[in-house]
Every structure is written in C-alpha cells, then in structure tokens.
C-alpha cells in the first residue's frame, strides 16, 4: 500500500451516498441464495461476478433490482448491512447515512418490518463492536407512482426514530422531482430531512436540480454535478450550504467519465462537495477507494483530500457537537500523518 493510500484509508470520513442494496457482494448474494433455497442461474460465485456488468444507468438497474430477490429474512438484511459497515470501518468511515429502497422489497412480498429489523440490528451491532455510527434514509423509487411513494412514507411513520431522512432514486428519465412534491412536503412535516438524486447527464438535469433546490427545498443533493452548467444554481447551493454527494467511480461506470473536473471545480468554488461509493459491490470501490481514485485521476493534494473529508461531516446530519469532534479528529490525524504521506500540499 502506498503512503497516500494508507493516509486516505486512515483519514476519518463520513459516507453520505451509499445504497445498502448496492453493497450486495457476489459472495454474499451466492451465500444468501443457498441459505434461502433460491436457485440462481449462476452456479458459482465467479459466474455471479460476471453478471455485475453494465454500461449506463438503465443497464445497471436491470442488474441491480433482480439481485435483491435473495434478501428475504431479517438475517439477510442484517448480514448485508453489517458486511458493508465492516468494510466501511476498515476504510476510515466513522459515520454513514445509508439509503435503502423499501419498495424494492415490499413489492415482492417482504414486509417493511423485516427490512428495518435487519438493518437496524446491524447498525446497533456495528456501533457496539467498532464504534461506527449509522443512520437510514428511505428512498422512494421514482419510476413508481407518487401515490405508492406516499403509501410507503406512511408505512414508515411508526419507524420514524429509525429513519433520519427520505430520498429519491432509480430511473430519472421522465420522473422529475416535481412528481413527488407532495410526498416530500409531507415528509418534511413529519420531521424527515430531505435529499434527492439528480443523476449525471440526464435529460433535463438542470431543471431537475432547480426543482430539487427551489421547489422541493432539499437539504442535500445526490450526484448533482451537472449543476456546474448553471452559475445561478451553483451560487444558490453554496448560499444554502447544500452538500453534494458525488461518486466518482460510479460516474465512470455509468457515464464513462469520473467527472473529476466538475467535482474539483465545485470544491474550488466553495461548495460542500463530498466523495462516496454509491453501490460499491457493483462498482468495485468503497469510499476510501473512491477518494484514492479521484486523487490519482485529478492529481489532488492532501489539502484537497482533507477538505473533502471535512465536507463529508459538514454535509452530514450529525449534531454540531459531533461535527466539532470529527473535525478535530481529522486535524489531529493530519498533524500526525501528513509527513508520512509524502504531502504534496504546501503548509
């Protein structure tokens, strides 16, 4: 491991754009299928790995959703989340706010409570065993109806203490933020924080970002780097302190570009840009891997990496006291490790 890789791995970080269902590693998928008596077309783990191939968002989703059929019992959801939290902890993640897609499970007969019980037990266990903290964000599938989203929100209300916010993901084409305005307004009234995917290079990307920022009033924006095309929206996001949860490695899979120029440019303009892994089992890169990939591709110095790590906590939904604690932890880590990392930044 290089000095830079070791520095990045140990750098305290938060992860804010992570789909739990996107952490289903081929080995776990194969094991859960065997445990639940589900016959896969693939007969080995290597054959499962070969199915994790796609070239854009649509082809990715065609792989992503069918894989979830191996998730049936609370233990399955526990194992999925705990495996991710273990890997994240090993890459320096101290806090994570994780998306989950209940409609992808309830729509195939898995009770909402089964999903939540499994995920929650993993969160409690991970915090007890290695100190990582985690929150859940319920995502509505935007290619389903707004009425179905509202019903899902109402089903989630008894679990309000377990779910910190709501989001919007899946196929963006023809499914603008405005379609779900009433759902997000109700979620806000119920006390949920709001975030929303504005995926990379989609039709009407700028209008969707505008709707998210101005009409919906999100607290955070997922992906969203097309905002560079509109200076007014850049300044609006900056003025409102909106965090952008960027995912460089997944960008390179679904658009063939990491979007490093956009990420670095937005960081330089003072936006609260963060780096995340998105669906790491499918893209082969967890959070620390994304930091390192971006650093190597864009030539980031340590100061920029540290700024991204600090932004990850600033854009999170933790308390001010915990934010101060994590920022001090980063400063202490940098002071102790900068020289060993062969810093290119000038002090």
Instruction: Read off the pLDDT of residues 173-207 as tens digits, 9 standing for 90 and up.
Output: 999 999 999 999 999 999 999 999 999 999 999 99
User: In this predicted structure, what is the pLDDT of residue 342?
Assistant: 59
Q: Strand ranges (DSSP E) for the chain?
A: 13-15, 93-100, 133-141, 163-169, 193-194, 197-198, 220-223, 243-246, 272-275
User: In this predicted structure, what is the pLDDT of residue 338?
Assistant: 84
Q: Tell me the torsion sign for CA atoms 50, 54, 59, 60.
A: positive
pLDDT of 347 strictly over 80: no
Which are the contacts of 319, defined by CB distance < 8 A and separation ≥ 6?
Answer: none
Q: Binding site residues for substrate, as ranges? A: 279
What is the C-alpha end-to-end distance of the chain, expressed in Å? Answer: 25
Residue 301 has what DSSP assignment?
A: -
Closest CA to 273 of 299, 298, 302, 238: 238
Cα 6 → chain centroid: 23
Across 5-11, average pLDDT: 96
User: In this predicted structure, what is the pLDDT of residue 105?
Assistant: 98
Q: Binding site residues, as ranges? A: 17, 19, 197, 278-279
Which are the contacts of 12, defined by CB distance < 8 A and separation ≥ 6?
Answer: 92, 94, 309, 326, 329, 330, 333
Instruction: Read off the pLDDT of residues 65-91 as tens digits, 9 standing for 90 and up.
Output: 999 999 999 999 999 999 999 999 999
Instruction: Read off the pLDDT of residues 136-164 as tens digits, 9 standing for 90 and up.
Output: 999 999 999 999 999 999 999 999 999 99
Q: Binding site residues for Zn(2+), as ranges? A: 17, 19, 197, 278
Higher pLDDT, 188 or 342: 188
Instruction: Read off the pLDDT of residues 212-258 as tens digits, 9 standing for 90 and up.
Output: 999 999 999 999 999 999 999 999 999 999 999 999 999 998 888 99
**Domain made up of 3-337: CATH architecture:** Alpha-Beta Barrel (3.20)
User: In this predicted structure, what is the pLDDT of residue 1?
Assistant: 63
User: In this predicted structure, what is the pLDDT of residue 19?
Assistant: 99
Average pLDDT value over all residues in the chain: 96
């Amino acid at each position: 491991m290089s000095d830079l890789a070791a520095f990045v791995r140990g750098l305290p970080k938060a992860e804010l754009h992570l789909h739990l269902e996107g952490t289903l590693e081929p080995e776990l998928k194969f094991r859960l299928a065997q445990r639940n008596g589900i016959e896969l077309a693939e007969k080995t783990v290597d054959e499962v790995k070969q199915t994790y191939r796609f070239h854009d968002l649509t082809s990715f989703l065609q792989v992503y959703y069918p894989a979830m059929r191996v998730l049936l019992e609370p233990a399955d959801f526990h194992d999925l989340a705990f495996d991710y939290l273990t890997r994240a902890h090993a890459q320096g993640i101290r806090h994570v706010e994780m998306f989950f897609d209940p409609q992808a499970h309830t729509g195939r007969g898995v009770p909402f409570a089964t999903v939540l019980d499994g995920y929650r037990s993993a969160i409690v266990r991970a915090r007890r065993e290695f100190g990582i903290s985690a929150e859940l964000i319920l995502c509505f599938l935007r290619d389903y109806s707004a009425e179905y989203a509202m019903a899902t929100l109402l089903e989630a209300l008894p679990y309000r203490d377990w779910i910190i916010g709501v989001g919007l993901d899946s196929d963006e084409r023809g499914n603008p933020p405005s379609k779900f305005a009433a759902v997000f307004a109700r979620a806000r009234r119920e006390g949920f924080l709001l975030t929303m995917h504005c995926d990379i290079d989609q039709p009407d990307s700028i209008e969707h970002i505008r709707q998210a920022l101005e009409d919906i009033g999100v607290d955070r924006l997922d992906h969203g780097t097309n905002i560079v095309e509109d200076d007014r929206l850049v300044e609006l996001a900056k003025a409102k302190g909106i965090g952008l949860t960027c995912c460089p490695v997944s960008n390179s899979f679904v658009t063939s570009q990491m979007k490093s120029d956009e990420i670095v440019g937005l960081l330089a303009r003072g936006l609260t840009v963060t780096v995340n892994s998105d669906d790491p089992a499918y893209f082969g890169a967890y959070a620390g891997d994304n930091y390192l990939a971006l650093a190597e591709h864009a030539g980031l110095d340590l100061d920029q990496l540290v700024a991204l790590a600090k932004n990850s906590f600033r854009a999170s939904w933790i308390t001010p006291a915990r934010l101060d604690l994590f920022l001090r932890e980063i400063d202490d880590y940098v002071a102790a490790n900068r020289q060993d990392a062969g810093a290119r930044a000038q002090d």
